[in-house]
């Protein structure tokens, strides 16, 4: 069923687990994620990033997401990920996305607040929830150590003020993860995560989950993060299965890719749970 993330994230925060947010780029990837969610009876975010509009249009993403979500009983949040253009964000809301992320994290604090407030007002009037980002999750290719990374850690005082000024429903924070493939070993600041989690009631989101390590992600999920975004690991999982199965034709290749992506989501549903980590 198609839902907003409001209650889902509040429950995840209270029970100390994280909901996965895999990015889809076509019907196959979206259908694979929803099938896994249904199999395990677990909610997920079906996330479409503005950066992926070259693969499918926003209109196509909305149709795919709503069609698949409404076919199952498990809660599915149709989420616009990393929306940088206010017009694009409002269009996603009008098309039926139930959750949107406004990413103005590279702007000044004041500009981030202003742009987020505008999106929150438009979204809340239409029953849609909003995620925003404070700090900045940079590129994994630039991640060698904290001096060379283009990530900017979230300041606790900024997180407190931002939530108060904007009324966002969830907040993406930067604690040391990065987008894409890592160059170097991820070093996460759990101290910063704990400080932010204790300072605000708003559910927290982690971007750049791929490649961060199972132990790190399990700790994030059980120590303050309520939603974790994953994308690169699904691409890696698809290619690994293709290389392993050596498909003889295109149909077999697509099946292999879907199988590989399904295995990744099944894995992370376990890692993000609050069961004892193995």
Q: CB within 8 A of 220, min separation 6: which ones?
A: 18, 175, 188, 190, 193, 206, 212, 228
pLDDT of residue 183: 52
51's tokens = 């950066």
Give the total residue count for the chain. 278
Cα-Cα-Cα-Cα dihedral of 133, 273, 141, 25, to 10°?
-80
Q: Residue 20: enclosing H or E segment and its boundaries?
A: strand 19-22
Could you give the CA distance from residue 37 to residue 178 in angstroms, rounded to a whole number?
Answer: 25
Query: Which CATH code is given to the segment(s) 2-271?
Result: 3.20.20.70
pLDDT of residue 208: 84
What's CA 27's distance to the chain center, in Å?
Answer: 18
Could you give the CA distance from residue 50 to residue 200 in angstroms, rounded to a whole number?
Answer: 28
Q: Residue 170: enclosing H or E segment and its boundaries?
A: strand 170-173
pLDDT of residue 177: 72
DSSP 155: P
C-alpha distances (whole Å) from 86 to each of 50, 80, 118, 181 are 11, 12, 8, 28
Question: Do the Cβ atoms of 148 and 183 come closer than 8 Å?
Answer: no
pLDDT tens-place values along the chain, 278 residues long: 999 999 999 999 999 999 999 999 999 999 999 999 999 999 999 999 999 999 999 999 999 999 999 999 999 999 999 999 999 999 999 999 999 999 998 899 999 999 999 999 999 999 999 999 998 665 444 444 445 444 578 899 999 999 999 999 999 998 887 755 445 566 788 999 999 999 999 999 999 888 788 999 999 999 999 999 999 999 999 999 999 999 999 999 999 999 999 999 999 999 999 874 33
Q: Which residues of 120-138 are buried (b: 16+ CB within 10 A; e: fewer)?
A: bebbeeeebbbbbbbbbbb
pLDDT of residue 137: 67
User: So which residues are the catalytic ones?
Assistant: 81
Q: Tell the residue number behind the tokens 């009876």, with chain if given.
A: 41
Question: Do the Cβ atoms of 247 and 255 come closer than 8 Å?
Answer: yes
Q: Tell the residue number behind the tokens 């996330």, with chain if given.
A: 47
pTM to 2 decimal places: 0.90
276's tokens = 């004892």
Helix-strand-coil split of the chain, %, nearest 5: 50, 15, 35
Q: Residue 45: enclosing H or E segment and its boundaries?
A: strand 44-49
Query: Domain residues of the chain, as ranges?
Result: 2-271
């Amino acid at each position: 069923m198609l839902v907003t993330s409001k209650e889902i994230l509040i429950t995840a925060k209270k029970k100390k687990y994280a909901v996965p947010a895999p990015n889809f780029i076509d019907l196959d990837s979206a259908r694979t994620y929803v099938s896994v969610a249904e199999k395990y009876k677990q909610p997920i975010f079906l996330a479409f990033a503005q950066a992926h509009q070259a693969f499918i249009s926003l209109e196509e993403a909305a149709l795919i997401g709503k069609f698949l979500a409404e076919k199952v009983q498990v809660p599915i949040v149709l989420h616009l990920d990393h929306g940088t253009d206010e017009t694009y964000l409002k269009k996603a809301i009008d098309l039926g996305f139930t959750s949107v992320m406004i990413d103005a994290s590279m702007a000044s604090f004041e500009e981030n607040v202003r742009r987020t407030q505008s999106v929150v007002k438009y979204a809340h009037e239409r029953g849609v929830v909003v995620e925003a980002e404070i700090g900045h999750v940079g590129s994994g290719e630039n991640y060698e150590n904290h001096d060379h990374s283009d990530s900017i850690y979230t300041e606790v005082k900024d997180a407190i003020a931002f939530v108060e000024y904007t009324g966002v429903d969830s907040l993406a924070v930067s604690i040391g993860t990065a987008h894409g493939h890592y160059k170097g070993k991820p070093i996460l600041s759990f101290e910063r995560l704990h400080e932010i989690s204790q300072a605000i009631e708003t559910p927290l989101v982690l971007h750049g989950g791929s490649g961060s390590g199972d132990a790190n992600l399990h700790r994030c999920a059980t120590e303050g993060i309520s939603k974790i975004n994953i994308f690169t690991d699904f691409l890696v999982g698809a290619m690994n299965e293709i290389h392993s199965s050596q498909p003889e034709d295109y149909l077999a290749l697509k099946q292999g890719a879907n199988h590989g992506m399904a295995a990744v989501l099944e894995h992370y549903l376990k890692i993000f749970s609050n069961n004892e980590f193995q």
